[in-house]
Homo-oligomer: A and B are copies of this chain.
Amino acid sequence: MSVSAPEEVVGAFIAAIEAQDIDAAIDLLADDVSYENMPVSPIAGKDAVRATLEGFLGVASRIEWPVTRQMTSGSTVVNERLDRFQIGDGWLELPVAGVFEVDSDGRICLWRDYFDMASYTRQLAALTDNH
């Protein structure tokens, strides 16, 4: 048995999100994962994270989360990303700073994203009003 390095786990997780493969993404999370979008309350546990991901990924026909900078220290990975969601004919683009902690089983136990909620909701409203 081998356990992947933290940056490999985070890379595989983001690849699963981009592929809209929620099962693969959830498999990379610890059972007691804490998913923290800083503007709102934390989401605790795999099932709640699955429901959240199904909701906000489900509106997109394509997803790209290019990582523009990434650093790893021990079990922690920090990155800057531009989370892009194709919705209808347009793209929602959200600058994000993410913090991930990976446990000794190679699963993500903390996923914390810093971003501006209004930048997200404003674009989402504009893109969904078109259809």
Q: Which residues of A contact B (CB under 8 A)?
A: 38-39, 69, 71, 73, 76, 78, 80, 95-97, 99, 114-119
Contact = CB atoms under 8 A, between A and B. Distances in A.
A99 B97 CA distance: 9
Number of copies: 2
A73 B79 CA distance: 12
A69 B116 CA distance: 20
A96 B97 CA distance: 9
Contact of A69 (B99, B115, B118, B119): B99
Contacts of A73: 71
Nearest to A101: B69
A69 B96 CA distance: 17
Contact of A95 (B38, B71, B96, B119): B38
Nearest to A80: B99
Given A38-B95, A116-B38, A71 B76 contact: yes
Given A69-B76, A99-B80, A115 B114 contact: yes
Contacts of A99: 69, 80, 97
